[in-house]
């Protein structure tokens, strides 16, 4: 469980700020370089779509980091939001706590 008060940034925001803007690239250039539609990349950057495993592989190849980096960003983002949706008090436990 992630214990943070502030939500993590959407991976698309990190992609835009730290990998596209920092390098002076455009969304169109990056989309073309990743062999994907500009509209799809724009949807990721704007937080409407997440980073799929396939996109994580493309991004890792394009920017020289690991696919796991991108997958972790997406998982952390989704988990943080899921933790706020689930009421744990309503879930039955099927384990015994050790004494």
**Structurally, how many domains does the chain consist of?**
1
| Structure token pair of residue 52 | 């799929």
| Structure token pair of residue 49 | 């779509």
**What's the domain range around 64?**
11-86
Q: Is residue 1 part of a domain?
A: no
Q: Are 37 and 31 in contact (CB under 8 A)?
A: yes
What's the pTM?
Answer: 0.85
Q: Is residue 95 part of a domain?
A: no
Whose tokens are 């706020």? That residue is 84
| Structure token pair of residue 55 | 């996109």
The predicted-structure confidence for 42-57, as pLDDT tens digits, reads as follows 999 999 999 999 999 9
pLDDT beyond 80 at 99: no
Q: Is residue 69 part of a domain?
A: yes
pLDDT score, position 34: 98
Mean pLDDT, the chain, integer: 94
Q: How many CB atoms lie within 10 A of CB 12?
A: 23
């Amino acid at each position: 469980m992630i214990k943070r008060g502030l939500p993590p940034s959407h991976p698309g925001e990190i992609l835009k700020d730290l990998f596209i803007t920092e390098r002076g690239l455009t969304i169109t250039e990056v989309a073309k370089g990743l062999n994907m539609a500009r509209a799809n990349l724009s949807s990721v950057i704007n937080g409407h779509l997440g980073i799929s495993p396939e996109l994580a592989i493309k991004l890792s190849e394009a920017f020289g980091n690991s696919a796991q980096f991108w997958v972790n960003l997406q998982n952390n983002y989704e988990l943080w939001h899921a933790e706020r949706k689930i009421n744990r008090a309503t879930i039955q436990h099927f384990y015994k706590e050790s004494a």
